A and B are shown apart, each in its own frame.
Chain A
Amino acid sequence: MCLGVPGQIVEVETSDPLRMGRVSFEGVQKQICLVYVPEVGVGDWVIVHAGFAIHAIDAAEADRTLTLLKQLEHPE
């Protein structure tokens, strides 16, 4: 239950006061509560724990880390 899983938001329901949405995990879609990530929208990535998105993945930071990893592989 405490393994966090990254997923991509495919739909946000604006009518629900709890801000629910559909999140895709490798193609499997689930109903997730987005109340704690008010800044995210369709297409954004979130980390989900037990039905709640607890954090948005920062795409710029993710890219920075990946660039760093690439540099490690090809140091010259």
Chain B
Amino acid sequence: MKYVDEFRDPAAVRALAEELRQATTRPWRIMEVCGGQTHAFVRFGIDRLLPDGVELIHGPGCPVCVTSVEVIDRALALAARPDVVFCTFGDMLRVPGSTTDLLQVKAAGGDVRTVYSPLDAVKLAQQLPDKQVVFFAVGFETTAPGAAMAVHHAAQAGIDNFSVLVAHVLVPPALEAIAGAEDTAVNGFLAAGHVCTVMGTEAYRPLAEHYSMPIVVTGFEPTDLLRGLLACVRQLEEGRAEVENAYERAVRDEGNPAARTMVERVFEPVEQQWRGIGALPASGLGLREAYHRFDAARRFDLPPGEGREDPECRAGEVLRGVCKPEDCAAFGNRCTPDHPLGAPMVSSEGACAAYYRYRRTA
């Protein structure tokens, strides 16, 4: 297919891997922030083509994985209410809360529906005026424009039985938390290309400068990933720490102005709790006051979640890049995609699920 296969060309992949080998004279540890990239690295086996010196550290960029158990518990409480139709992306169905997950709530009679677009949930609210339709708004800057438009559209159309449970997270604060940690193992970052298509690149410049780390905006196909790594290694070898765009066909410095404007109109930055990382200031999105009436957390009296995680799960360390999925004793035996103990085994963008699918027989 155009714009996909061309960027998977095996000869170009080999040539880039060779360039990378020649460019690398010292060991470097580079974090790919985005779970989509983790998935692509492992799926295409790109991590196995890397020269010995270059180590990939998998980052926290899987929204399914970093959504805190407290929020999942709130979602579960809402979904169990008889008056509520709970709409979610399919990835969230199996994420374990303290005692159960959305799929089990559905099996027990909860009206849980999988939607493809946030607008599907708005449409459902129009079709079911006697029900309260709640959309579970999760994801990074890539899915926030859709959620923002859904809320804005509901407000304009006067659809009052629609609300959102917001758990959006933002990439730059997470990147800063990792770069600024005392024991940080990371020398440079591949920034998530699609997040930058929306928000642009300017938020990264002060980070690259302050922490003296190269940040390379990177795409998702095999040659994109290798070009991103190559640019990052070249900067490190030359002692540079700049923001560089290696995903030119999709990312402009200013991002997507129309999408940014709508996100900023509907949402404002709020403190957010990250699984495995803790609370980070201004790292999530909350509805602005003008849209408070669409906030499910305000509309319903939600009990505070227990927030209990499986004691065996090392999701926190996996998400911080401190350990690899295989280092977890439960990996592949007590924890599998069919019986996940933690979120990184649920989502296709989670590091544990990627290793399980593509690496188990290795």
Q: Decide if B16 is an interface residue (CB 8 Å cutoff).
A: yes
Residue in B19, B117, B153 whose CB lies within 8 Å of A50: B117
A2 B250 Cβ-Cβ under 8 A:
no
B304 to chain A, nearest CB (A): 26
Chain A interface, DSSP helix/strand/loop, else mixed? mixed
Q: Decide if B362 is an interface residue (CB 8 Å cutoff).
A: no
Closest residue of chain A to B64, judged by CB? A1
A18 B197 Cβ-Cβ under 8 A:
no
Q: Decide if A58 is an interface residue (CB 8 Å cutoff).
A: yes
B3: chain A residues at CB < 8 Å are 6, 45, 57, 62
B194 A49 Cβ-Cβ under 8 A:
yes
A49 B258 Cβ-Cβ under 8 A:
no
B256: chain A residues at CB < 8 Å are 36-37, 54-55
A50 B146 Cβ-Cβ under 8 A:
yes
A1 B2 Cβ-Cβ under 8 A:
no
Q: Decide if A61 is an interface residue (CB 8 Å cutoff).
A: yes
Q: Decide if A76 is an interface residue (CB 8 Å cutoff).
A: no
Q: Decide if A29 is an interface residue (CB 8 Å cutoff).
A: no
B62: chain A residues at CB < 8 Å are 2
B250 A58 Cβ-Cβ under 8 A:
yes
A70: chain B residues at CB < 8 Å are 12
Q: Decide if B139 is an interface residue (CB 8 Å cutoff).
A: yes
A4-B36, A65-B248, A72-B12 as given contacts; A55 in contact with B146, CB under 8 Å: no
B9 A69 Cβ-Cβ under 8 A:
yes
| CA gap between A4 and B258 in the complex, in Å | 18
Q: B328-362: which have CB < 8 Å to A?
A: 348-349
A54 B145 Cβ-Cβ under 8 A:
yes
B259 A3 Cβ-Cβ under 8 A:
no
B7: chain A residues at CB < 8 Å are 65-66, 69
B252 to chain A, nearest CB (A): 8
B259 to chain A, nearest CB (A): 4
B36: chain A residues at CB < 8 Å are 2-4
A65 B143 Cβ-Cβ under 8 A:
no
B91 A1 Cβ-Cβ under 8 A:
yes
| CA gap between A64 and B102 in the complex, in Å | 46
Digitize A28-64: 1 where CB-to-B-CB distance is under 8 Å, 0 elsewhere. Answer: 0010110111100000010101111011011101101
B2 A8 Cβ-Cβ under 8 A:
yes
B349 A2 Cβ-Cβ under 8 A:
yes
B18 to chain A, nearest CB (A): 9
Digitize B122-145: 1 where CB-to-A-CB distance is under 8 Å, 0 elsewhere. Answer: 000000000000000011101101
A50-B116, A69-B12, A72-B12 as given contacts; A6 in contact with B194, CB under 8 Å: no
| CA gap between A58 and B39 in the complex, in Å | 24
Given A4-B36, A55-B250, 15 extra CB contacts under 8 A: A2-B36, A2-B139, A2-B194, A36-B258, A45-B2, A50-B116, A50-B139, A51-B118, A51-B146, A52-B145, A55-B197, A64-B248, A72-B12, A72-B16, A73-B12
The 29 sampled A-B contact pairs (Cβ below 8 Å) are: A1-B64, A2-B142, A2-B143, A2-B194, A3-B220, A4-B194, A4-B197, A8-B2, A26-B1, A32-B117, A35-B149, A36-B145, A36-B262, A45-B2, A47-B194, A47-B197, A49-B142, A50-B89, A50-B139, A50-B143, A51-B116, A51-B118, A51-B120, A52-B149, A54-B145, A54-B198, A55-B250, A72-B12, A72-B16
Taking Cβ atoms with an 8 Å cutoff, the residues of B that contact A are: 1-4, 6-7, 9, 11-12, 15-16, 19, 34-36, 39, 62-64, 89-91, 116-120, 138-140, 142-143, 145-146, 149, 153, 194, 197-198, 220, 223, 227, 248-251, 256, 258-259, 262, 348-349
